[in-house]
Amino acid sequence: MNLQGKKVVLGVSGGIASYKSVSLARLLIKAGVSVTTVMTTAATKFVQPLTFQTITGRPVFYDMFNDDFQENIGHIKVPEQADCFIIAPATANIIAKIACGLADDFLSTSVLANNSPLYLAPAMNTNMWNKAIVQENIEKLKARGISIIPPTSGLLACQTVGLGKMAEPESIVKFLVKNPEFQSNSNNGLLNGIKVLVTAGPTREKIDAVRYISNYSSGKMGFAIAEYCLSQGAKVTLVSGPVALMPPEGINFISVQSADEMFEAVMANAPQNSLIIKSAAVSDYKIEKPDPGKNKKRVNLKLNLIQNRDILKTLGKQKSKNQYLVGFAAESENLEAYARKKLLDKQLDLIVANNILEPGAGFDGDTNIVSLINATDVLQLPQQSKFMVAEKIIQKIVSDPKWAQIKNYNP
């Protein structure tokens, strides 16, 4: 992640979502960020300061009048060195205080003393979120250049379903990564200046004008890889089949439908890229003669399926010595043996193998359980978010001795 060496102040105000801020702190720490936590008194009722202190390895600030904190005028010093200040969760109360310029505790005074970009991840009950005064405060803050990481919809702690759930820690990190203050030291990225082509999602093969065959791929794995590569300073082209995800900002995004379209887009772009990661779940078959109109209902419909071209295999055949090719293997049995066969047959440098029947792995979820297999070894990874899997894949690639020659070549 391109957050290495950054300094972040994490403000935690008093809502039930504050337990999620512990994961946020952990994700930031793992990404090489130095995190200083500031809590409101109410937040300390939900999570002990000691939890943040242990995770971040730094003191936690919450008491304005504690001697230790005052020694260096803490509320002035804490934000002084920050690259950014993020409040997660941001309750209606802290939002209102910031909107009014109130400064009556450690967190609100630190915000007022802060000069770095400020991010708020609101979390509250739907009725509170929908109140005109809260929305007015939000608009006022946006107008002053404060970034709002929007809450999502879901089951809230008050047992109602609606808007007001704090964005998940990983979405918050993704949001931060995209922002300029985190892009500025892109020289430190693992893929600085490298051109990367990623494929994602399923393909759709037309049966007729209204029907198609496809698979359950959500595109989340490929999108996570593309976003991670971007955060590492890469120039990313993402070729994706139809998915319900927003194209990441800063990425050259090419949308396709069928395997044939994906083939053409990948072949047109492959020569300009040093690293190609094919995580798309390409349909192996297409309908020989799709009906240009709508097929009328009948008792038995026989579809004549013919094989699609194997995009990855074609890439393997054409691969130059300055290209690094990564494939995926979706298996339901004999994981390692089948993946190894694909590694050889398709002339890959690395294959990411997953057993799609294992709970927590596969197509549609937010997590994956994969093994990274190359000619010499196998790295079995535990279940983790697709974003973290993306990080592990890139770390594996850049630690391969072959990578040294690739990274010095810029097609």
Residue 342 engages ligand CTP in binding (rule: CB under 6 A):
yes
What tokens were used for 105? 């505790």
Angstrom CA distances, 404 to 315, 322, 324, 373, stand at 21, 10, 11, 19
Minimum distance from residue 308 beta carbon to ligand CTP (Å): 5
Identify the three-state secondary structure at position 82: coil
The amino acid at residue 40 is T
What tokens were used for 326? 């990564």
Which residue in the set 111, 327, 368, 374 belongs to the binding site for ligand CTP (CB under 6 A)? 327
Identify the three-state secondary structure at position 235: strand
Minimum distance from residue 343 beta carbon to ligand CTP (Å): 10
What tokens were used for 144? 């002053």
If the CB atoms of residues 148 and 326 are measured against ligand CTP, the closer one turns out to be: 326
Residue 280 engages ligand CTP in binding (rule: CB under 6 A):
yes
Angstrom CA distances, 208 to 205, 211, 241, 286, 293, stand at 9, 5, 18, 12, 6
Minimum distance from residue 84 beta carbon to ligand CTP (Å): 36
Distance CA 187, CA 204 (A): 39
Distance CA 164, CA 266 (A): 40
Residue 330 engages ligand CTP in binding (rule: CB under 6 A):
yes
Residue 312 engages ligand CTP in binding (rule: CB under 6 A):
yes
Which residue in the set 195, 278, 386, 407 belongs to the binding site for ligand CTP (CB under 6 A)? 278
If the CB atoms of residues 11 and 327 are measured against ligand CTP, the closer one turns out to be: 327
Minimum distance from residue 371 beta carbon to ligand CTP (Å): 13
158 is catalytic: yes
User: β-strand 350-355 against 371-373: which pairing, if any?
Assistant: antiparallel
Minimum distance from residue 72 beta carbon to ligand CTP (Å): 54
If the CB atoms of residues 48 and 334 are measured against ligand CTP, the closer one turns out to be: 334
Handedness of CA 357, 360, 362, 364 (dihedral sign): positive
Minimum distance from residue 13 beta carbon to ligand CTP (Å): 44
Stretch of 33-41, 97-105, 227-235, 304-312 contacting ligand CTP, by CB under 6 A: 304-312
If the CB atoms of residues 94 and 352 are measured against ligand CTP, the closer one turns out to be: 352
Contact (Cβ atoms closer than 8 angstroms) between residue 260 and residue 219:
no
* 195-200, strands of its sheet edge to edge: 252-255, 235-240, 195-200, 275-278, 324-331, 350-355, 371-373, 378-380
Stretch of 91-99, 142-150, 174-182, 306-314 contacting ligand CTP, by CB under 6 A: 306-314
Residue 259 engages ligand CTP in binding (rule: CB under 6 A):
yes
Angstrom CA distances, 201 to 39, 58, 286, stand at 40, 41, 16
Query: Where are the strands (E) in 20-93, listed by range?
Result: 34-39, 60-61, 84-90
Which residue in the set 31, 148, 329, 389 belongs to the binding site for ligand CTP (CB under 6 A)? 329
Which residue in the set 63, 310, 366, 400 belongs to the binding site for ligand CTP (CB under 6 A)? 310
Q: Which of 84, 100, 158, 229 is catalytic?
A: 158
Residue 284 engages ligand CTP in binding (rule: CB under 6 A):
yes
Contact (Cβ atoms closer than 8 angstroms) between residue 138 and residue 148:
yes
Distance CA 321, CA 64 (A): 61
Which residue in the set 311, 350, 369, 406 belongs to the binding site for ligand CTP (CB under 6 A)? 311
If the CB atoms of residues 99 and 330 are measured against ligand CTP, the closer one turns out to be: 330
Stretch of 131-139, 295-303, 310-318, 362-370 contacting ligand CTP, by CB under 6 A: 310-318
If the CB atoms of residues 243 and 280 are measured against ligand CTP, the closer one turns out to be: 280
Name the strand (E) or helix (H) holding 221: helix 220-231
Active site residues: 158
Interaction site with ligand CTP (CB under 6 A): 259, 278, 280, 282, 284, 308, 310-312, 327-330, 342
